[in-house]
Amino acid sequence: MKYSRWDDFLIAEHEMIERAMAVLKECLDNLDATLDQPVQVIRALDFLLEFGDKIHNRKEEEQLFPLMEKFGVPVSGGPLGVMLAEHRMERELLARMMADIGSL
């Protein structure tokens, strides 16, 4: 895939993350249907943790968001604060889901 704008790469990453979330949702909706589902759930969660959080979110938090703040986008009470809160909630939810899977 060729990226012609700086944000094309981040948009493509968002699309990959959304696909992983769709797979996770489908697996959870059909968890009792097949024995392969728990493996797929673990793989989707692992992708969301390793790529979604440790690579994508980190890129946004360490590079994009500080640049946006520098150009006047507010953190507190603004979109950056909302996105940072979403990243924190994602981390907490994924960690709880992994812990729940580990206790099965």
Domain boundaries, the chain: 8-102
**Residue 1 pLDDT:** 62
Q: What is the pLDDT of residue 38?
A: 77
* Side chain identity, residue 2: K
- What pLDDT score was predicted for residue 5? 85
For residues 95 and 101, is the Cβ–Cβ distance under 8 A?
no
Tokens of 84: 């940072």
Report residue 33: phi and psi, to 5°: -70, -40
pLDDT in tens, the chain (104 residues): 677 887 898 999 999 999 999 999 998 888 766 556 678 888 999 999 999 999 999 999 999 999 999 999 999 999 999 999 999 999 999 999 989 877 65
Q: What is the pLDDT of residue 39?
A: 83
Which pLDDT score is estimated for 37?
Answer: 65
User: What was the pLDDT predicted at 57?
Assistant: 97
Cα separation of 22 and 1, whole Å?
Answer: 22
Neighbours of 52 (CB within 10 A): 25
Instruction: Report the predicted TM-score, pTM, of the whole model to 2 decimal places.
Output: 0.84
